[in-house]
Amino acid sequence: MRNQTTRRDVLRSGLAVAGLSFYGIPEWILPVLAQGEILVPFTDIPESFGSGALGPTRRVLDIRTIREALTSKDDFYTIQHFDQPDINPDTFRLKVSGLVERPAELSLAQIRDLGNEELVAGYECSGNSPRMMQGLASNGRWTGVPLQTLLNHVGVQATAREFVFFGADHGEENVDFRGTSYTVDQHFGRSLPRADALSTEPFLAYALNGEPLTREQGFPLRLVVPGWYGVCNVKWLTHVRAQEERFLGKWQARWYRTLWAEEIDGKISYHETEVGRMRVKSVIARVTQLNDHYTVHGFVLNDGTPLRSVEVRVNNGSWQSATLDSATTDKYSWKLFKYDWNGVTPGEHTLVSRAIDADGTVQPSAEALEFKQTGLENNAQFPRTVMIS
């Protein structure tokens, strides 16, 4: 018998689990406003939802409070899988091993001697979504050393194909192999292929916005891979290993994957991809009123491809151009935008934004993203509702 399940049913089935909450339910923090400015209330924020601290070591940014290019260290979202290790900076060493000419163990002072450069980069957790009111995203100015400088310092062998980055944090993990489960202690680890690792972009950061990293941000050293999802930015970085084999650790090969359905010749086929570069996403963060003037504010994150446009649409009208903030033009910074909302009438209104990059990639509508079966990498357009009184 032919399977009668429709394409839509197949696609929907994968979405069923996405409704589960996994971060808890804290309190909203009241956003700070400029003088005279009134925050127009969103009517789409579930009462059960909150931002701020999600327990001692996790934090969501209330995106209605985004006023400046950089997120302060105390607001910067934070998340990780194990406990936050407490690292003594005096005894800290970054180990570089494997297929390098001169394996090394570098102190913090030696790393600082390698370079003192700056990089503005924002990122979001690949699990960021409407459910989290898009608050697993932030933007910072990092100080540190390009990874390339470190790799030149130790000398990379020709056979090195994969570069693995381990954090000091670790815990018991199950590794399943054909019906047998091995419970072993593992460190958080992520990898980059040679071309990406040797590019000028990945960055070893020891400071955020001019101050040493806090413990939750990965003190004393972390990796920042600009344009990639948060998971790639290994915190408490203590070991870089160059190897020939592909790295198949849990956080690389299993936990951070996306299952896609694809229609080929009228048939659905499925494939899985790793979580890597950020998919272009714009988000409306707040709406303000100053006298009778209304402004829609938001941000865009992507893989660093220049943006062609950011657009806002009111009540299913036509897409209108928003203006990008000149304070956020760095390649990997998030881009803040504003839209002057004219002709506002009392009542409830729906606002949505979309970003289009220079390659013509358009931020998808939720419907266009139905081919994505699993919850990560949700860059769908995010309609917001506001009440004008």
Q: In whole angstroms, give the CA distance from residue 59 to residue 165.
A: 24
Q: Tokens 């697993």 belong to which residue?
A: 136
Q: Which stretch binds ligand MTE (CB under 6 A): 229-237, 287-295, 334-342, 368-376?
A: 229-237
Least distance from Mo ion to the Cβ atom of residue 229, Å: 7
Site residues (CB under 6 A) for ligand MTE, limited to 314-373: none
Site residues (CB under 6 A) for ligand MTE, limited to 140-169: 167, 169
- Site size toward Mo ion, by CB under 5 A: 3
Considering the rule CB under 5 A, would residue 276 count as an interface residue with Mo ion? no
Closest CA to 187 of 224, 222, 238: 238
Give the tokens for residue 156: 């990379």
**Contact between 326 and 358 (Cβ < 8 Å):** no
Is residue 237 classed as helix, strand or coil in its secondary structure? strand
* Longest pairwise C-alpha distance within the chain: 69
Considering the rule CB under 5 A, would residue 125 count as an interface residue with Mo ion? yes
Radius of gyration of the chain, Cα coordinates, nearest whole angstrom? 22
Considering the rule CB under 6 A, would residue 233 count as an interface residue with ligand MTE? yes
Considering the rule CB under 6 A, would residue 137 count as an interface residue with ligand MTE? no
- Site size toward ligand MTE, by CB under 6 A: 18
Closest CA to 131 of 60, 74, 32, 183: 60
Q: In Å, how far from its chain's centre is CA 203?
A: 16
Buried b / exposed e across 257-276, counting CB within 10 Å, b at 16+? bbebbeeeeeeeeeeeeebb
The residue (of 65 and 126) whose beta carbon lies closer to Mo ion is 126
Considering the rule CB under 5 A, would residue 375 count as an interface residue with Mo ion? no
Binds 233, which of ligand MTE, Mo ion, none (CB < 5 to 8 A, cut-off by type)? ligand MTE
Considering the rule CB under 6 A, would residue 217 count as an interface residue with ligand MTE? yes
Bridge-based pairing of strands 237-243 and 94-98 is parallel
Omega of the bond leading into 220 within 30 degrees of 0 (cis): yes
Binds 151, which of Mo ion, ligand MTE, none (CB < 5 to 8 A, cut-off by type)? none
Give the tokens for residue 24: 């808890």
Q: Which stretch binds Mo ion (CB under 5 A): 4-12, 110-118, 142-150, 229-237?
A: 229-237
Considering the rule CB under 5 A, would residue 61 count as an interface residue with Mo ion? no
Closest CA to 202 of 123, 85, 308, 306: 123
Binds 167, which of ligand MTE, Mo ion, none (CB < 5 to 8 A, cut-off by type)? ligand MTE
Bridge-based pairing of strands 117-124 and 137-146 is antiparallel
The residue (of 231 and 322) whose beta carbon lies closer to Mo ion is 231
Backbone dihedral angles phi then psi of residue 217, each to the nearest 5 degrees: -90, 5
Among the listed residues 51, 71, 78, 328, the single contact to ligand MTE using CB under 6 A = 78
Considering the rule CB under 6 A, would residue 139 count as an interface residue with ligand MTE? no
Considering the rule CB under 6 A, would residue 125 count as an interface residue with ligand MTE? yes
Give the tokens for residue 296: 């829609």
Q: In whole angstroms, give the CA distance from residue 333 to residue 302.
A: 9
Q: Which residue is nearest to ligand MTE (CB)?
A: 167
Considering the rule CB under 6 A, would residue 79 count as an interface residue with ligand MTE? yes
Helix (H) or strand (E) holding 195: helix 194-197
Considering the rule CB under 5 A, would residue 380 count as an interface residue with Mo ion? no
The residue (of 11 and 125) whose beta carbon lies closer to Mo ion is 125
Considering the rule CB under 6 A, would residue 298 count as an interface residue with ligand MTE? no
Q: Which residue is nearest to Mo ion (CB)?
A: 125
Q: Under the rule (CB under 5 A), what is the footprint of Mo ion?
A: 125, 230-231
Contacting positions for ligand MTE (CB under 6 A): 76-81, 125, 167, 169, 188, 216-217, 230-231, 233-236
